[in-house]
Amino acid sequence: MAPVTTPLADLRADFPLLDRSVNGHPLVYLDSAATAQRPNVVLEAEQDFLERRNAAVHRGAHTLAAEATEEFEQAREAVARFVGADVDEIAWQSGATDALNTIAFALGAASLGRGGEAARRFALGPGDELVVTEAEHHANLIPWQELAARTGAALRYVPVDDDGLWTLDALRAVVTERTRLIAFAHVSNVTGFVAPVSEVVALAASVGALTVLDACQSAPHRPLDLHALGVDFAAFSAHKMLGPNGLGVLYGRRELLNALPPARTGGSMITTVTMEGAEFLPAPQRFEAGTQPVSQAVAFGAAVGYLTDAGMAAVHAHEEELAQRLYEGLSGIPGLRLIGPGAGVERAGLVSFDVEGVHAHDAGQYLDDRGIAVRVGHHCAQPLHRRLSLTASVRASVYLYNTADDVDAFLDAAEGIRAYFRV
């Protein structure tokens, strides 16, 4: 195969975990779609904060609290710039799953009459419809199932084809004048399909529906401008973007966040509390009840700084080359069924596949014995796998620190799976 030409291979040395061995083999890490590794600058940023400035934010008058608050809010500013948002449109959550649930719970609260006149526009009830796709991650499906159950709205879904892909025509066939919300992934975590976001936003606007974008597989891997895309809400995770676990981001257009009632309540998100009731701060604080993940936010700020320095256009180009190498290599191995877009169609830097006659978990164990880390299972997308008549699949995913040698080592090993199991 032709060599990878993008200039990011020298970044690998910044990631200490990638230098280890597994089962006597150099580690080949191809599971970044699940969790990305962290560069030294991210590890050091969190440690430095904890050693020198650790304090509660927004609630202390002493020097440490002021320094912690400043660094905490600088991280928010960095993330806002990174995704093309305003700083007050970025609310910290415990993860992308939490962010999506926050939207659903806030809409549910509005449907119960909470939030006053400003929130009435969000109220849902019988006759209203929520739309998702059959390809969604459970985190962008179950919250809407629950919201429908709580409000009496109907949940409708866009079916996928035999390759696990959905189309705009299929979406148009599901959306009606009763559609109040369309929730969809920017990039599928199983197929690598890249959604036509602008067209979905335009369709939603034509019927007055809100749009919720699962950006977990796009924010880490390609330039992202949420204002330019025009979505109403979005969610993404720090741990898929070289950052820490336990932190995610809820994005919402300012006027929407300030009109929504809070999903959780407590300290730090209020202006006035009496024994009879409470008044809430504007966004983003109204969605940040309680003690915040301060050191994690600081580390995430360092992570998006690292990605910014690498250049997201370069990251995207690098992953496109590696993804093409993955796809072409796997396509040439007999007995492998590849899931998702075919040759010549845009896909993200991941490929999922089924090995004929070999369970995905067995295939994953075979690869792990050779030092290659991939994902196996249904990838939190059971409806999609069921549609494809699969219980599980193997997924290899790349990131900016992967190399052509990683992909080639994986392909060499994958070629031997069926022979090893005597299929």
As a whole number of angstroms, the distance between CA 400 and CA 417 comes to 27
Residue 355, both tokens: 């090995």
| Pick from 62, 32, 81, 95: nearest CA to 244 | 95
Which residue do the tokens 């990011």 mark?
8
Residue 289, both tokens: 């009840």
| Pick from 178, 168, 173: nearest CA to 208 | 178
Burial class (CB in 10 A: 0-12, 13-18, 19+), 2: exposed
By annotation, the residues acting in catalysis are: 380
The contacts of residue 299 (CB under 8 Å, 6+ apart) are 38, 42, 43, 45, 46, 49, 238, 243, 244
Strand partners, 270: 280
Give the Cβ contact number of residue 216 at 10 Å: 28
